Structure 1
Amino acid sequence: MSRLRRLVLSDRYFYVTCNLHRSRKKLRDADFRILARVISARRIEHEFLLTAWVFLPDHWHAVIGVRYPKTISVVMESIKVSSTRQMNSRRKQAGRLWQGRFFDRALRTVREYNRAVEYIHLNPVKAALVQRVEDWPWSSAREYSGSIQDETTRHPLLPIDRVLLPSDQRTRI
């Protein structure tokens, strides 16, 4: 079966999912810290926006805003390669950390964007890791529960970029 080709798009928000390779042990807090630092560094290098995220033991999700001339493929490859190197070094292992492909969806409207953010933040609850979204420490959910001026809700390792979207859910973004 042939692989689907990925669209080459920029200046869009993408909902992305990156799954752990099936042969790898589940991610833990130390791995999450590495992943947060890697995303933070790649964010500066590739100048993308990170507006929502969650790390789980076997995968992670994010909403990433990619700006021309970068593409979501360039951003994700950079994150996956760097995090694999660092986590393999920490674990004294070699080989793949992530599945070969990641999943992405271009978000076209405010409604799609809001649904993606809600899905991301509900993921730890649906996986029975916590009872409330605010209780999972590896998520941007707490930042969404605070006011824009409230710095106490910012995640210490991976704060989100705050964006203002139109209130009309049908508006294209």
Structure 2
Amino acid sequence: MSNYRRARVTGATYFFTVNLRNRSDDLLIREIDLLRWSVRITRERHPFHIDAWVVLPDHMHCMWTLPPGDADFAKRWKSIKFAFAKRLPAIEHRTKNQYRRNERGIWQRRYWEHLIRDDLDYQRHFDYIHYNPLKHGHVQHLADWPYSTFHRAVEMGIYPVDWHTDPLFQSENYGE
């Protein structure tokens, strides 16, 4: 096991990539209402600001800003994943260890997190999140993807509705 340590800075903004265990599944968009509910109830108990979010069939990217004095994004992800999985029938394949631990086999165990360092880092991740449906070939126009805060960003005047500029970095550096 590696000595990986997560950056924990109170009140900071983080970028995340969270994957389904089965990367060929479309569970996240099939069960989008359940996912939204899971996020909503988690935010009621453990507040955070959603800066950007995109849900794709098998994974999602998001940026959150945590409240001052709080760095516990892990508690929030645990709550979201648990609330989502608990309300689905247990039909997925599970390993012996997952049965032993009473775990579901829906999510990859870990997730990618990145502490946002500055305004440029923020903008690049913000753009990356919103560009993702186009990058993966789900749509030809970002405005056609319904599971994204892209629409909110357009309403706020951050993007024009026809925005589609490829971000200035490669996805292999950002958790995919």
Is the pair's TM-score, using the shorter chain for normalization, greater than 0.5? yes
Unmatched tracts of structure 2, length 5 or more = 93-103, 158-176
The equivalent of 1:132 in structure 2 is 141
Q: What are the equivalent positions in structure 2 for 1:14-163 lying under 5 Å apart?
A: 14-22=14-22, 25-27=25-27, 29-67=29-67, 68-86=69-87, 88-89=88-89, 92-93=90-91, 95-147=104-156
Greater shift, 92-101 or 33-42, is seen at 92-101
Query: Displacement of 1:28 after TM fit?
Result: 5.2
Give the TM-score taking structure 2 as reference length.
Answer: 0.75
Query: Displacement of 1:69 after TM fit?
Result: 3.0
The equivalent of 1:158 in structure 2 is none
Cα distance in structure 1, aligned partners of 2:114 and 2:154: 25
Identity, % of aligned positions = 28
2:27 match: secondary structure: coil
Give per-residue Cα distances to partners, 1:2-56, cap 9 Å, x unaligned: 2512233321000001000037732254411111111111112111111110000
8 A Cα contact 1:26 1:57, kept in partner: yes
Instruction: Figure out how many residues of one structure are paired with residues of the other and give that number.
Output: 146
Distance 1:77 1:25, change over 3 A: same
Give per-residue Cα distances to partners, 1:99-133, cap 9 Å, x unaligned: 00011001011111111111001000011000111
Query: Displacement of 1:64 after TM fit?
Result: 0.7
The equivalent of 1:4 in structure 2 is 4
Backbone CA RMSD of aligned residues: 2.1
Give per-residue Cα distances to partners, 1:51-90, cap 9 Å, x unaligned: 110000110011111122351111111111111112x23x
Give the TM-score taking structure 1 as reference length.
Answer: 0.76
